[in-house]
Amino acid sequence: MITGPMLTRATTVFAGTAVGLVLLALVSAAPLPFNTSKAARLRLSWTARPQRIEICRTLSAEELAARPEHMRQRVECDGRFASYTLRVEMDDRAIGESIVRGGGLRHDRPIFLLRDYAVPPGVHRMRISFTRRERIETREEKEEEESAPSAVPDADTGLYAGRAAREVAERGRRDRAAIPPRLELDTTVTLAPREVALITFDPERKVFLLHTGGKRTP
Instruction: Output the tens digit of pLDDT for each of the chain's 218 residues.
Output: 555 555 555 555 455 555 555 554 554 454 444 445 789 999 999 999 999 888 777 888 888 888 887 777 777 777 889 999 999 999 999 999 999 999 999 899 999 999 999 999 999 999 999 999 998 764 444 444 444 444 444 455 555 556 666 666 666 677 778 899 999 999 999 999 999 999 999 999 999 999 997 666 66
Residue 42 near residue 208, CB atoms below 8 Å: no
134-139 own/partner pairs: CB under 8 Å, 24+ apart: 134/53, 134/82, 134/83, 136/53, 136/181
Q: Where are the alpha helices (DSSP H) in the chain?
A: 4-29, 61-65, 139-146, 163-177
In angstroms, the CA 128 to CA 181 distance is 14
CB 132: neighbour CB atoms within 10 A?
19
CA 133 distance to own-chain centroid: 12
The angle at the Cα of 181, spanning 108 to 147, to the nearest 5 degrees, equals 90
State residue 5 phi and psi, 5-degree precision.
Answer: -60, -40
In angstroms, the CA 132 to CA 136 distance is 10
The pLDDT value given to residue 75: 75
Question: Which amino acid would we find at residue 30?
Answer: A
Question: Which amino acid would we find at residue 144?
Answer: E
In angstroms, the CA 38 to CA 122 distance is 11
- What pTM value is reported for the model? 0.64
Give me the residues paired with residue 46 across strands: 113
Residue 115 near residue 99, CB atoms below 8 Å: no
Query: SS3 for 195?
Result: coil
Closest CA to 79 of 145, 140, 134: 134
Residue 58 near residue 74, CB atoms below 8 Å: yes
State residue 188 phi and psi, 5-degree precision.
Answer: -110, 135
Closest CA to 131 of 51, 204, 76: 51
